[in-house]
């Protein structure tokens, strides 16, 4: 029998806390979360909602969003706890008619999330969700360190030299901007 795996929230930087209305907590179990969107509702989303639609995995405990997921080994008990937690959320937050109905839906979501984890543990997953011809489409990809990188290093960003470095740099005074921000 192959090892059980599920996607878990990971933050390589603090950006999830800025781009999503609510960020998933690091270490939280994730599902794709597409069930929260309908083709009709996508056009009505605000900026943070559009970011969640486009690239967010849903945390089953917080109902917050994560840009990245990490493939993680899971025990049978942890998987069952994840199903139970999601079922409870479906009743409490989304009004599922009862726990049995919610559990069936949660089982499907967790099974789909597990199907994304057919990769070695610690593989990073990213999601790109679009609306095409009236249907929501999901595309998943894996993020792997480059072959020439040391095995214990994974960089989310790489800085490279660009033309025009000698030109004046744009300056932003964040403290001044905060003084003028509405409260």
pLDDT digits (tens, 9 = 90+) for 61-86: 999 999 999 999 999 999 999 999 99
Burial class (CB in 10 A: 0-12, 13-18, 19+), 19: middle
Work out the pLDDT band at 1, boundaries 50, 70, 90: very low
Q: What is the mean pLDDT of residues 116-130?
A: 95
Residues 129-167 pLDDT 10s: 999 999 999 999 998 766 665 555 555 555 555 555 555
C-alpha dihedral over 51, 60, 92, 54, to 10 degrees? 20
Q: State the Cα–Cα distance between residues 183 and 172, nearest whole angstrom.
A: 20
Report the share of the chain in percent with pLDDT over 90: 74
Q: How far apart are CA 99 and CA 130, in angstroms?
A: 31
The size of the chain, in residues, is 183
Distance CA 94, CA 149 (A): 44
| 113 vs 159, more confident | 113
Ordered alpha helix ranges (H), 7-95 = 16-19, 47-55, 76-92
CA 111 to chain centre: 17
Q: What span, in angstroms and rounded, lies between the C-alpha atoms of 48 and 66?
A: 12
Q: Which residue has the higher pLDDT, 172 or 71?
A: 71
User: CB-hemisphere CA count at 13 Å for 37?
Assistant: 27
- State which H helix or E strand residue 99 sits in: helix 99-115
Residue 144's pLDDT is: 73
DSSP state of 62: T
């Amino acid at each position: 029998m192959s090892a059980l795996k599920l996607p878990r929230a990971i933050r390589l930087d603090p950006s999830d806390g800025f781009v999503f209305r609510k960020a998933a907590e690091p270490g939280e179990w994730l599902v794709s979360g597409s069930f929260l969107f309908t083709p009709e509702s996508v056009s009505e989303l605000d900026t943070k909602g559009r970011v969640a639609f486009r690239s967010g995995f849903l945390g089953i405990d917080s109902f917050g969003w994560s840009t990245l997921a990490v493939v993680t080994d899971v025990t049978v008990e942890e998987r069952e706890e994840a199903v139970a937690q999601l079922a409870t959320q479906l009743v409490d937050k989304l009004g599922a008619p009862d726990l049995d109905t919610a559990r069936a839906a949660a089982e499907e979501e967790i099974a789909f999330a597990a199907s994304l984890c057919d990769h070695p543990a610690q593989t990073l997953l990213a999601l790109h969700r679009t609306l095409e011809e009236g249907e929501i489409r999901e595309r998943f990809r894996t993020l792997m360190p480059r072959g020439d990188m040391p095995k214990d290093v994974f960089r989310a960003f790489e800085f490279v030299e660009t033309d025009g470095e000698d030109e004046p740099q744009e300056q932003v005074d964040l403290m001044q901007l905060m003084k003028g921000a509405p409260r």
